[in-house]
Amino acid sequence: MVDSLISRLNSFFLYFILIDIQCHIQLVNDPMESLTEVIEHQPDLAMSDTVPLEQRYKASMVLSGVGDALGYNHGIWEFEKDGMLIHDEVQKRGGLEKLNAKDFPVSDDTVMHLATADALVKVGEGEGASLPVLYRALVEKYIVSMTDMGGRAAGITCMDSVARHRQRTDKDIKIPFNKRGGGCGAAMRAMCIGLRFPDPEQEHLLIAVSVESGRLTHHHPTGYLGALAAALFTAYAVRGTLPVEAWGHSLMEVLDKAKEYVRHSGNCVELNMEHWAYFGIQWKSYLEKRGILDGKSKPQFPESYGVKERESFYRAVSFKGCGGASGHDAPMIAYDALLRAGNSWVELANHAFFHGGDSDSTAVIAAAWWGALFGFRGVPEINYQRLEYRDRLSKLGQRLYKLRGKPLGTEKE
């Protein structure tokens, strides 16, 4: 009788296991099951803890270069407006796992990101470090970076602003407010600032350095706040304590602190305040659309979110139809890609690297965050082994790792 009861119980449990499996299969195969999909495969922060932090630092720098190089593709994919065509071309080449880094040079994004990291390391490892010394080093490194822009499609705002710095005879680093300075050129080179100042106690430094490094070329809130977002989210990735879906909510709080910093900086305050609101309005709208403004909920995506849907969305959040070309939407699209991809390098590439907007800029940012979370795990070696400037990027990542959290000497501006 006991054996009969056990047999019945086993059949009972087996029945419900089969039902559960069937429900999961139906959920996967039925795209019309609901209007929105709540993403549950968020980046596993426990997984991040299994990758040594130093390795994640190196990966953040190296993979940012990979994202840039693949998104750029000699300028062919960066300036291609048809995202579907890019995805078709990737598949014709055998998919992401067949793309050899040696065939994809980096763009201006990585060259200037290297310049930012060079300045951070030079000042951090030297004597007499201070914010003014760091800002001067950034200017010098950005000037040098312009000698390495052949075939890399450097942005007009960056080139014009750096030329202004090069021609100066005084030691001032400030440039005039620029109503057309809202592009992504400040954001694309700022991720490593979050590697240098990852700790919550250094948030004031992260804010100051990202804002001031940004307005060395892009003196407009939409431009330099993009640098703040790029740096801040890198710091969050390094810490590994804040769920990725909460990053956007936290950014909205940090924007208030950045506003106070700019108010007290005394640099074109009235014009900066006049143009301040746009960045925050756009980000609040995005976070509401994904259902994560509260910093607690899981992101909601359209049930159908393929290439065409993403192209439409990226254009919708852009300033003038080119997704990722501005300071607000380059980190926004990168964040959207990270939320959707979770720990999948392939999905990150599909969403952030290959689209009809400013693809190298969204890619360089998203890949830096992803590397800071997951290291090189799951990334085909062919994607990064022979990347241009790989050794330099990796060594800078290692040096930034050693400098992380270190005080910056005199911290007065």
- For the stretch 65-97, pLDDT in tens is 999 999 999 999 999 999 999 999 999 999 999
pLDDT, tens digit, 9 for 90 and up, residues 146-202: 999 999 999 999 999 999 999 999 989 999 999 999 999 999 999 999 999 999 999
CATH of 43-403, one of 2.60.120.430, 1.10.1660.10, 1.10.4080.10, 3.40.50.300: 1.10.4080.10
- Mean pLDDT over 43-65 rounds to 83
Is 361 marked as binding a ligand? yes
Please give the share of the chain, as a percent, with pLDDT higher than 90: 85
Q: Where are the domains of the chain?
A: 1-30, 43-403
Q: Helix or strand or coil: residue 397? A: helix
As a whole number, mean pLDDT of residues 44-64 equals: 84
Q: How far is CA 27 from CA 18, 21, 298, 300, in A?
A: 14, 10, 18, 16
Distance of alpha carbon 144 from alpha carbon 118, whole angstroms = 11
Mean pLDDT of all residues in the chain? 91
Instruction: Check residue 113 and give its pLDDT.
Output: 99
Tell me, what's the pLDDT at 39? Answer: 52
- Average pLDDT rounded to a whole number, residues 35-49: 50
Average pLDDT (229-250) is 98
- Nearest Cα neighbor of 362 from 30, 36, 71 is 71
The pLDDT-based confidence of 5 (bands split at 50, 70, 90) is: very low
| Span 298-326, average pLDDT | 97
Rama region for 272: left / alpha / beta (φ>0; ψ in -120 to 50; rest): alpha
Is 358 annotated to bind ligand?
yes
Give the pTM. Answer: 0.89
Q: How far apart are the C-alpha atoms of 187 and 314, rounded to whole Å?
A: 17
Check whether 109 is labelled as a binding-site residue: yes
Instruction: Specify the length of the chain in residues.
Output: 413
pLDDT of residue 278: 99
% of the chain at pLDDT higher than 70 = 87
Tell whether residue 108 is among the known ligand binding residues: yes
Cβ neighbours of 409 (radius 10 Å): 16
